[in-house]
Structure 1
């Protein structure tokens, strides 16, 4: 399961999903709520938008909207692994703390490093370019 706010869903996000779908039988993109962020669209609207961007051949990729803890979604839906993209050491340090907590709660986190050409890509940067 690959959780995020995805506001917007960037080429970096798509790359992480593409790589994950090759590693796992099923990948769910979990469009979630982050109390620290103010997304430009509702969770449901972002999920619909992501669905429309996925190639037809990606049959093992699903999209779901969720309002709650990521680990609760994992438990309720039998997800054993949380996938997290990391661009740099700042991302890694922040994600490592969450991963440690999720591991204690029974869900492993797999870090997928960003490809060099996508390291500078972030939802914040994409939103700024659109403004």
Structure 2
């Protein structure tokens, strides 16, 4: 029986913290499905297709069976569609835990057949958040410590385009 896990997020942009959770999550399951979604409460820097392409590029060569797909539904419906029995979530700080704990409880009420597994982010990567990466970039700060070189170029290019347009 294939163990399938889902790692959901907006990945706008994908950070070194996300990559850490992807690498580690891929070791826990036979197939890791990275679910790229939209979040109505966030205004993305990159559209869905751009984020999907970015994540696909970044996961090349990690090893294991990793699939990148989009979804626009309840997470538990998406997990069921993918045949997942595990949701992989990364935790950075206590504030993350409170939110994730509540979400895991709600998700369990929706679909008790799917478990949520929390992975602590690497200590060096704990402060990284996509929102902060975008904010730093918008104000001209260096983001190379938080994202891969390719993602850095994507973000810097988008900031230049936004300021020019």
TM-score (norm 1): 0.94
Q: Is the 8 A contact 1:43 1:66 kept in 2?
A: no
- State the alpha-carbon separation in 1 of the partners of residues 76 and 36 from structure 2: 13
Look up the match of 1:109.
116
2:16 to 3, 11, 14: 11
CA offset digits 1:18-58 (Å, max 9, x no partner): 00111111101100111111111222221111101123252
1:30 aligns with 2:29: no
1:83 aligns with 2:88: yes
The range that moved more, 40-49 or 85-94, is 40-49
The range that moved more, 49-58 or 14-23, is 49-58
- Structure 2, unaligned stretches of length 5 or more? 1-5, 139-165
CA offset digits 1:71-130 (Å, max 9, x no partner): 111111111111110101100000111101111222211011111100111101211221
Larger Rg over CA atoms: 2
1:63 to 64, 68, 71: 68
- State the alpha-carbon separation in 1 of the partners of residues 69 and 62 from structure 2: 18
- State the alpha-carbon separation in 2 of the partners of residues 21 and 122 from structure 1: 21
TM-score (norm 2): 0.76
1:41 aligns with 2:41: no
Q: Is the 8 A contact 1:27 1:60 kept in 2?
A: yes
| Corresponding residue pairs, total | 131
Look up the match of 2:127.
120
Q: Is the 8 A contact 1:16 1:85 kept in 2?
A: yes
Q: Is the 8 A contact 2:17 2:121 kept in 1?
A: yes
> Which 4+ runs in 1 deviate beyond 4 A?
none
- State the alpha-carbon separation in 2 of the partners of residues 7 and 57 from structure 1: 20
- Structure 1, unaligned stretches of length 5 or more? none
CA RMSD across the alignment: 1.1
